[in-house]
């Protein structure tokens, strides 16, 4: 099957899934249904790229720039169709800022280059795995807010796991992947430049996440101190007066 047919089929598939969610959850807004598609895509791509990277191979840390396999091409085509859908939705509803739109555009260009040149599929799938592994947590956080369940132990657990995964996988392992791509003699220069763009965007997100984590931790600490003071005040026994 021609490559462009695979990408078009992927785009149609994600669009049909969105329309299905719209008809099923007609009482919800468009963003709810789009985020359900994003959540579904995140889960599918984590499972698919995990199999590509860890089972089917080759290992992206040692084989960056090698020729694409059929499974890598399939995974990239599925992902590319989703990014076309999501970018179109974001532009239509003006729901995202310039950084996220830049991330989507860079992802589309990077995947297109890997598909059209027929190389660097293994490290591109590795990048997709690292990017999407935090996606279900990010969407879960939004859904918890909408359901009024975010300010709870579950919301705190989701935030903590999201921050840890982003820092360790997307930034930590991402740095190793970035170094392997830059030093690989097989990787084309244009793919290395694309890696630079994605790596810088990851750090932009990391800075924002670190700020969020600091603010939330500070707010939690203040709330804990206030509750502690109130508890100590309530436990104090009134002093009696002798006549």
Six-digit token pair at 60?
A: 């992206």
pLDDT of residue 145: 92
Per-residue confidence in pLDDT tens, the chain, 243 aa? 788 899 999 999 999 999 999 999 988 889 999 999 999 999 999 999 999 999 988 999 988 889 999 999 999 999 999 999 999 999 999 888 888 888 899 999 999 999 999 999 999 999 999 999 999 999 999 999 999 998 888 989 999 999 999 999 989 999 999 999 899 889 899 999 988 998 998 999 999 999 988 888 888 778 778 777 777 777 665 555 443
CA distances from 179 to 1, 62, 119, 142, 184 (A): 35, 11, 18, 33, 8
Task: Please tell me the distance from the alpha carbon of residue 79 to that of residue 70, in angstroms, as a whole number.
Answer: 14
Task: Please tell me the distance from the alpha carbon of residue 43 to that of residue 89, in angstroms, as a whole number.
Answer: 20
What does pTM read for this prediction?
0.86
């Amino acid at each position: 099957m021609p490559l462009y047919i695979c990408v078009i089929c992927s785009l149609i598939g994600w669009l049909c899934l969105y329309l299905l969610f719209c008809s099923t959850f007609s009482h919800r807004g468009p963003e709810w249904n789009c985020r359900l598609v994003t959540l579904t895509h995140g889960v599918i791509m984590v499972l698919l790229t995990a199999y590509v990277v860890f089972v089917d191979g080759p290992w992206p840390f040692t084989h960056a720039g090698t020729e694409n396999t059929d499974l890598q091409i399939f995974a990239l085509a599925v992902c590319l169709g989703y990014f076309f859908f999501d970018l179109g939705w974001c532009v239509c509803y003006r729901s995202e800022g310039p950084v996220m739109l830049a991330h989507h555009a860079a992802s589309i260009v990077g995947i297109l280059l890997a598909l059209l040149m027929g190389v660097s599929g293994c490290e591109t799938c590795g990048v997709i795995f690292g990017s999407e592994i935090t996606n279900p947590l990010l969407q879960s956080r939004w859904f918890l807010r909408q359901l009024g369940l975010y300010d709870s132990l579950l919301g705190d657990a989701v935030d903590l796991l999201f921050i840890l995964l982003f820092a360790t996988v997307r930034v930590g392992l991402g740095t190793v992947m970035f170094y392997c791509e830059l030093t690989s003699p097989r990787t084309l220069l244009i793919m290395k430049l694309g890696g630079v763009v994605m790596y810088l965007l990851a750090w932009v997100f990391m800075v924002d996440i670190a700020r969020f984590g600091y603010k939330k931790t500070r707010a939690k600490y203040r709330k804990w101190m206030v509750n502690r003071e109130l508890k100590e005040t309530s436990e104090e026994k009134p002093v009696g007066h002798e006549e």
